Structure 1
Amino acid sequence: MSAKPIYKVIFYNQNQVYEVYARAIYQSDMYGFIEVEEFVFGERSQMIVDPAEEKLKSEFGNVARSYIPMQAIIRIDEVEKEGEVKVTDIKAGDKVAQFPGPAGLTPPSTHKD
């Protein structure tokens, strides 16, 4: 591994799954949040533009620190180098595994008797 680790953070955000890379991950002093700092984006050496990468660069490019709710985290991996950032849409019926949320804060059931 390199001297300063790189983390791949996969999390759920408004019906999408984001996959980003960062150099620093912390448990926040704000209860229930993970702090993500020093976002890493691949160097652009070709003329092809990836819309997902551009979306994430515009959203996180000037962010010093992002607070992600713990229940939105799907997975955090320490990796040797950054890869391709991704944004994946969640379709109705798709299952997304994530940390359980606090008791009582789950959305109400849409089931009607």
Structure 2
Amino acid sequence: MEKDAIYRIKFLNQDEVYEVYAKHLYQSDLWGFLEIEEFVFGSQTQMVVDPSEEKLKQQFEDVERSYIPMQSVIRIDEVKHEGVAKITPARGTNVAAFPGVPPKHK
């Protein structure tokens, strides 16, 4: 019996790097977006609480599906088991958001 795959997804969000774990990952029908479903967070039995993981749990608590812009994705890995979801500052990296064209106002 094969265990379901778990994916580690790293992406940029407002000058921070989010690292989350999920069971399902798709190229969205919404052009240019990645769909993430069934977020996986650490066990409730852990004694040490990571504040960034708690923030992510609260942020994605009632989310069924999240759409992440492709240009924000840094890396996707298929892993054997979930790790600790975390938020880290994006400073010191040479990854930048793809510049968009500002809308023209009439």
Q: For residue 105 of structure 1, what is the aligned residue in structure 2?
A: 100
Structure 1: runs of 5+ lacking an equivalent: 108-113
CA distance in 2: counterparts of 1:79 and 1:50, whole angstroms: 21
Structure 2: runs of 5+ lacking an equivalent: none
CA distance in 2: counterparts of 1:48 and 1:63, whole angstroms: 25
Aligned sequence identity (%):
53
- What is the SS of the residue equivalent to 1:75? strand
Q: For residue 9 of structure 1, what is the aligned residue in structure 2?
A: 9
Residue pairs, 1:5-84, within 5 angstroms: 5-84=5-84
The Cα RMSD (Å) is 2.0
CA shift digits 1:64-110 (9 cap, x unpaired): 0000000000000000000011100123xx22437x84xx7279xxx
Q: For residue 88 of structure 2, what is the aligned residue in structure 1?
A: 88
Aligned partner of 1:49: which letter?
Answer: V
Q: How many equivalent residue pairs?
A: 101
Aligned partner of 1:105: which letter?
Answer: G
